[in-house]
Amino acid sequence: MLADRHPTPLILDGSAVALETVLDVAAGLTRVQLSDSSEFRERIAAGPAFLDRLLEEDGVVYGVTTGYGDACTRAVPMAQHAELPRHLYTFHGCGLGEILDIESARAVVLVRLVSLCRGVSGVSVELLERLVWLLEEDVIPVIPSEGSVGASGDLTPLSYLAAVLCGEREVFDGGQRRSTAEVFAERGLTPYRLRPKEGLALMNGTAVMTALACLAFGRAERLSRLATRITAMTSWALEGNPYHFDADLFAAKPHIGQQRVAARLHRDLAHDPGRVNDDETPRNSSRLQDRYSTRCAPHVIGVLEDSLPWLRSFIENELNSANDNPLIDPVAGKVMHGGHFYGGHIAFAMDSLKTLVANIADLLDRQFALLVDTRYNHGLPANLSGATLERAPLNHGYKAVQIGVSAWTAEALKLTMPASVFSRSTECHNQDKVSMGTIAARDALRVLTLSEQVVAALLHGACQAVDLRQATGSHVQDVLLPPTLGDFHRLCRERIAFVEEDRALENDLRYLCVHLADLAEGMYAD
């Protein structure tokens, strides 16, 4: 079981859950409990009770008394109803590709649980308790990432969750991949037997794409802040014009996120960060106009900042929705057949997010190109080499890192092709229009990984450039790093060292990629 979690647990009672809560549970920081409220538990129990009555009256319910998908016209004999859910998760056990990491798989379990707690999926309280048990014991399904077209939901990857509840396939137990049957036996847990509709309720939804979207949103929000801080360091090292981020200038183009980024840059570059408006902005500064990759940074990063609210809206609405089929309304006595498993909103959000993020990678790639090139870096050594004069012929500094940044950026840009336009008619043309939302979410996470590598590389190079600028400045003002940047620079220097002689930087870069969240903590509390 996980230790050191927040003392206040997440109580699930069908109420809305915030995106950040998913991130906390996925990271193992927050416990999860099912509400003890009698009203909540009675509302959940009413669903399967209604289904039982309907079956006794020979009612027809898709996926309960019929086959699945295009086989919905094929009646399943009553004697075989109990076997049907197991067949559903069994024949969907064909996922391939990389396995979701434990954090992502935890998020999948929680997101499915949140949806089922809405009380319209016809599942039992016992099923919900089993899902909570997985999170509390940190027994997490091993879920292949590939095989979903995003409608009817994430059937294939979610079949691994259903199978695990029934004691089959594999789990991560304490981080180790093990047989589910062995783990259950060790804990004295009997495998769950799915009731009618419960296999479909677990699998026919958008939990995988939505879980990945929550994780992608959190990383994108962090990347925006890091890209802003690193841009400030790059601008200072290039002796850039800080007045490009003047508040009066940005008042003329009032995109709120763009203004926020400009204000952050202005504060970072100010020697008195408390002054929001600089009354001493010169009519004509010594550097009239920097190149676009620094001057227009608020306009590039700001598009992501301005998109975060609607991205959150799309993701949180999906997170807190009932998105399986059919839905059960025991109060009205209705079984409602529809298509809420369609992941179009997540698909569009993730296709948009990956373009927003890749544009930031491209921005930082251009900044790195300026830093290493003596034609544009205003007196810094070629390739940011820290070697002494006599050792300079041997040393090549960040030459290869800059090539790597170019490669990572190119791959990120290549992946911005929208997945949602590649709908394929499948499953005997029953699923003839599908969302590709899970592929879009996976693409977004890959673009984020590549972009974080660019961030790590430029952060390393920007710290080097700051040190070199301070060493070559001829006046006190030339080498006086603004206090906000000075604090951040010292924080980075506690983790990565100055590059004097050439050394392999892979370990430094991998370290930074892993610890970007630590470096971004508390950054820009505006």
Active-site annotation, residues = 62
DSSP string, 366-397: HHHHHHH-TTTSTTPPGGG----GGGTTT--T
Q: Write the CB contacts of 265 (distance below 8 Å, at least 6 apart in sequence).
A: 228, 231, 232, 235, 242, 245, 297, 298
What single DSSP character describes residue 72?
A: G
8 A C-beta contact, residue 393 and residue 323:
no
Q: How far apart are CA 477 and CA 481, in angstroms?
A: 8
Q: Write the CB contacts of 333 (distance below 8 Å, at least 6 apart in sequence).
A: 50
- Return the structure tokens found at 270: 């100010």
Residue 387 vs residues 108, 250, 372, 491: alpha-carbon distances, Å = 49, 41, 14, 23
- Return the structure tokens found at 31: 């416990």
Q: Residue 272, class by beta-carbon neighbours within 10 Å (0-12 exposed, 13-18 middle, 19+ buried)?
A: exposed
Q: Residue 81, class by beta-carbon neighbours within 10 Å (0-12 exposed, 13-18 middle, 19+ buried)?
A: middle
Within 250-338, strands assigned E span 327-329, 334-336
196: left (phi over 0), alpha (psi -120 to 50) or beta: beta
Residue 266 vs residues 239, 258, 280: alpha-carbon distances, Å = 14, 12, 13
